[in-house]
Amino acid sequence: MPTRFSLFLMIAAFAVPQTLLMGQSDTTPPTLVALSYAASIDVSAAAQNLAVTSTITDDLSGFNYGYIEFTGPSGQSFNGYFSRTSGTNLNGIYSATVAFPLFVEPGSWTTSVFLYDNAGNSITLQSATLITLGFPGTLTVVDSNPDTTPPTLLGASFSPSTINTSGGPQPVTLSLHVSDSQSGVVFNFTSCVVNANLARAGATASEPLEVWNSNFTLTSGTAQNGVWQATVMMPQYSGGSWSLSSVCLSDAVTNHVSLTSSQLAAMGINPILTDTSAPADTTPPSLTGLSFAPTIIDTSASIQNVTATLSASDDISGVYFGLFNATYYWLDAEFVSPSGNQSVFMQGIYNSPAPIAGSPQAGTWQLHFQWPQFSEQGTWTMNYIDLQDAVGNYAYYTPAQLHTLGFPNTIVVTKPSLTPDGTISSAGGTVDDNSFGTRASVTFPPGLVSTPTSVSIDVFPSPLSVPTPTGFTMPGTYFENLSFNPNLPEPIPAPGITIVLPLLTPMTPGAMLSLYHIDPIVGLAPAMNAFGNPVVGTVNADGVSATFNNVVTFSTVVAYVSTGSVLGDVNGDGKVNCADVSILKSSFGTHTGQAGFNSAADLNNDGTVNILDLFIVSRQLAAGTVCH
Amino acid sequence: MSFGASASLLAGTISVLPATPTETAGQTFTLSVDISGAADLYGYQFDLGFNPAVLEATGVTEGLFLPTGGPTIFLPGTIDNVGGTITANADILNGAVSGVNGSGDLLDVTFEALAAGSSNVQLFNLIALNSFGQGLVETTASSTVTVLAPTGAAPEPGTGLLAAVAALGALVLRRLLRPSSV
């Protein structure tokens, strides 16, 4: 039993190195080093292009993209994206061109700069900040003939006004009669991302049908007074009464107006589209299954892909993930980093993937996420998942709801520094961690490697968010990543290597711990020794480290404190035999929350009874055992 | 450099065979799930997906390959002919023995061809383990089953595929404009 003083020393020894253990991780946004452009422009007689030059740096992942935006006194705005003219994405010279058309408003415009790096970090530098940093923060615009009035909506209509989509999607033309003085109406992304939204009467959990600017064309008149039309493909089974829930209009100098349904009604503009489809789909889809693979990734060397397998059902129109002609719906989901500053969206939403099993009414899909290199270390949480059907009914799942349903919603990003702590030759030897010393080391036997091999030992500052396996109380050691260059073949040939891990808190010398490793494919699993058995180690005499011998599978490792049960003993009778296999088989393939799920059979405690649990049991059976 | 010191272990290809069979509605036929290039394969688990409007699964049996390594624990999976899945098919060796190497038949699935059409039969949620419990990376190949109508029956109409390429930019822009908090 340590004295209070020695215990204090031990705790201090654990605490001090943590700041050294963070490793490479890009959590800072790019830096604006220089910025210049002309102090004023005059658009009285002609449109002007403003040339901008800047220098941008980034510490690790590199500058990805950014833009400069100028905002006029009433809110008119124009921007230009940076393009590199020399240097690298870590330190480069960039130019941007901002086009100012005729009729923009005069006065002092404010400047904003938006910068994003490849890891997803971003920064917005507003005018005051730019000035504080010594950069220009305003632009003087001269114009003797400005346009400061937004467009006016004079009328709207659907043609035809009655359809029946029970046999399939039906086209409908939406006409908007719009006027604007001077600069004229435009349909682009600058001010109005969506120009019109159609909502179904009485639908509470239904996304509006969105009509985008690219669908509108001028069919009569001029930009100053004309009729613009867009074709909307109404989805099958979209029965009900549809109306305009909002309209957004902009002119060429970005004067814009957004009209709500009540404002439209007050203007006497309230066209109705009636779909007589029977049946009509008014029920949102339902998420019935969700899993991710892998659940632990390392982005220190490259981007990493994660596949989501999702099962869902919808009663009539079916689950829909992609675009639908002029309008669109999608399944969307977002993972957010521990700090909240980085996020990852689902990939491949542009083409609705076909189900890999079943049908849109009851199917299974595989979807993809991609983490940038140097992503923030730690546990990323799925912020939401938005599941929709083909007519826009949606089900929005929060993290709490996903948890209640028993679905996973986290991905762990590890970030080893990969900084070598030493080199081992063909003669073998020991390498100690530069931070933890002898409490974190690796020992190679002679002949294991034929060429000098560098060893990188990275002790993670905090435990990874992986479930503690069944039969164990908690991690007894830090998580530690071991990297070798050149890589070693796995499993390592007998007799394997010896690993020493630092304990999280002091333990009694001689106490036993079970070693686990994080497999890049299957996740947390028992580490195996050269004899084909799970590795069990003991706490060293110092009480602050534990030694594990003959290890042949490793990568990221951690050791757990046992509750005293036998590994693989599902029924708790102290033995591992066919009775345990029988129990495990009866709940095989089930997940947390499902009927038949047996937590005792979920030996790795990942929420699913599967082959990883069965491996733990089958490996403990005597060779030749036949279980019926 | 890979995750830690652990490189992903490439270990063969798992295929649903034959790759492009043609059947007639009403017929019963069998597809096999075969592995080639296996290295120390100790156990596996996967799900199978198919189009339930075209096929109906009627049974799953263990193949001959894994039992060459010793006694096994085989789970034939759960058939769902509504959702078009056979989930949690699994097979694993017993005891501290080595896995099997080479090529062979992992399991066989019997289907009934229901109606004219086409169905992919593909693996997903695959987990393959070696005798050290390490995950093996397997390449997978699906089968595309074509079912013909019985002689004299009219073929079913195909399904059209709609695309909306024009909205892609708009979609990206909407994401860029999405508020950071939802």
Does A152-275 carry CATH code 2.40.50? no
Alpha-carbon distance A518 to A619, whole Å? 18
Give tens-digit pLDDT for A87-128. 999 999 999 999 999 999 999 999 999 999 998 899 999 999
pLDDT at B149 over 90: yes
pLDDT at residue A510 in the model: 93
- In total, the C-beta contacts within 8 angstroms joining chain A to chain B are 237
Q: Mutate which of B2, B6, B137, B171 to disrupt the A interface (most A C-beta within 10 Å)?
A: B6
Residue B135's Cβ-side half-sphere holds a number of Cα atoms within 13 Å equal to 25
Interface pTM, i.e. ipTM: 0.83
Query: Do B182 and A383 make contact, defined as CB atoms within 8 angstroms?
Result: yes
Asked if A356 lies within 8 A of B49 by C-beta distance, the reply is yes
Report the percentage of chain A scoring pLDDT > 90: 62
* C-alpha distance from A309 to closest chain B C-alpha (Å): 8
DSSP string spanning B10-54? EEEEEEEESSS-EEETT-EEEEEEEEEEEEEEEEEEEEEE--TTT
Rounded to the nearest angstrom, the minimum Cα separation between A443 and chain B is 15
Q: Please state which CATH number belongs to domain A286-414.
A: 2.60.40
Q: Tell me, what's the pLDDT at B7?
A: 47
Which of A400, A335, A406 has its CA nearest to residue A369?
A335
A227, A218 contact by CB (below 8 A): yes
Q: Which of A123, A195, A327, A356 should be substituted to probe chain B, the one whose Cβ sees the most B Cβ atoms within 10 Å?
A: A356
Q: Determine the distance from the C-alpha atom of residue A323 to the mean position of all C-alpha atoms in its chain, rounded to a whole number.
A: 21
What is the set of domains in chain B, with CATH numbers?
9-152 (2.60.40.680)
Q: Of A487, A517, A623, which has the smallest distance from its Cβ to B2's Cβ? A: A487
The answer, yes or no, to whether residue B178 has pLDDT greater than 80, is: no
Using a CB-CB distance cutoff of 8 angstroms, which residues of chain A are in contact with residue B11? none
Mean pLDDT computed over B70-95: 95
- Judged against a pLDDT cut of 80, whether residue B1 lies above it is answered with no
pLDDT band at A156 (very low <50, low <70, confident <90, very high): very high
Select the more confidently predicted residue: A418 or B50. Answer: B50
Q: Do domains A152-275 and A566-628 have the same CATH topology?
A: no
Query: What is the model's pLDDT at position A302?
Result: 84
What are the beta bridge partners of residue A275? A163, A240
Put simply, the answer to whether B3 touches A555 (Cβ < 8 Å) is yes
A231: confidence class by pLDDT, cuts 50, 70, 90: very high
pLDDT(A213) > 80: no
pLDDT at A13 over 60: no
A384 interface with B at CB cutoff 8 Å: yes
Shortest distance, CA A164 to any CA of chain B (angstroms): 19
- Architecture per CATH, domain A566-628, reads as Orthogonal Bundle (1.10)
The reported pTM is 0.71
Q: How far is A250 from chain B (nearest CA, A)?
A: 16
B155 — pLDDT class (breaks 50, 70, 90): very low
Q: What pLDDT sits at residue A520? A: 78
Q: Which of residues 509-538 of A touch B (CB under 8 A)?
A: 517-522, 525-526, 528, 531-533
Helix (H) or strand (E) holding A319: none
Architecture of the CATH domain A31-142: Sandwich (2.60)
Checking if the pLDDT of A273 tops 50, the result is: yes
Residue A36 or residue A624, greater confidence: A36
Res B21: pLDDT = 96
CB contact under 8 A, B136 and A491: no
Predicted confidence band of residue A58 (pLDDT cuts 50, 70, 90):
very high
Site of tokens 């909506």: A153
Chain-centroid distance of CA A195 in Å reads: 29
> For A168-208, what is each residue's pLDDT tens digit?
999 999 999 999 999 999 988 777 877 888 888 887 777 77
- Domain locations in chain A? 31-142, 152-275, 286-414, 422-562, 566-628
Residue with tokens 């091999």: A453
Residue A280 Cα distances to A163, A166, A237, A320, angstroms = 13, 8, 5, 16
* Average pLDDT for A48-53: 97
**Does B163 sit within 8 Å of A351, measured CB to CB?**
yes
pLDDT digits (tens, 9 = 90+) for A568-579: 999 999 999 999
Q: What kind of fold does domain A422-562 have according to CATH?
A: Chondroitinase Ac; Chain A, domain 3 (2.60.220)
Across all residues in chain A, what is the average pLDDT?
A: 88
The CA distance from A466 to the nearest CA of chain B, in Å, is 16
Residue B159 has pLDDT above 70, yes or no: no
- B171–A330: do the CB atoms touch at under 8 Å? yes
Could you tell me which chain B residue has the CA closest to the CA of A188? B170
CB contact residues (below 8 A), chain A span 422-481, against chain B: 481
Give, as one character, the DSSP assignment of residue B103: E
Segment 177-196 of chain A within 8 Å of chain B by CB: 189, 193-194
- The residue that leads in pLDDT, A607 or A328, is A607
pLDDT digit string, tens, across residues B62-79: 999 999 999 999 999 999
Mean pLDDT score, A539-547? 93
Tell me the C-alpha distance between B142 and A71, whole Å: 55
> pLDDT, tens digit, for every residue of B7-47?
456 578 999 999 999 999 999 999 999 999 999 999 999 99
Q: pLDDT tens, A424-438?
A: 999 999 999 988 889
CB-based contact A618 B43, cutoff 8 Å: yes
pLDDT, average across residues A249-255: 94
DSSP codes, A487-516 = PPPSSPPTT-EEEEEEBSS---TT-EEEEE
Higher pLDDT pick, A14 / A369:
A369
- Chain A contact probe: residue of B1, B2, B3, B121 with most A CBs at under 10 A: B3
Interchain contact A592–B (C-beta under 8 A): no
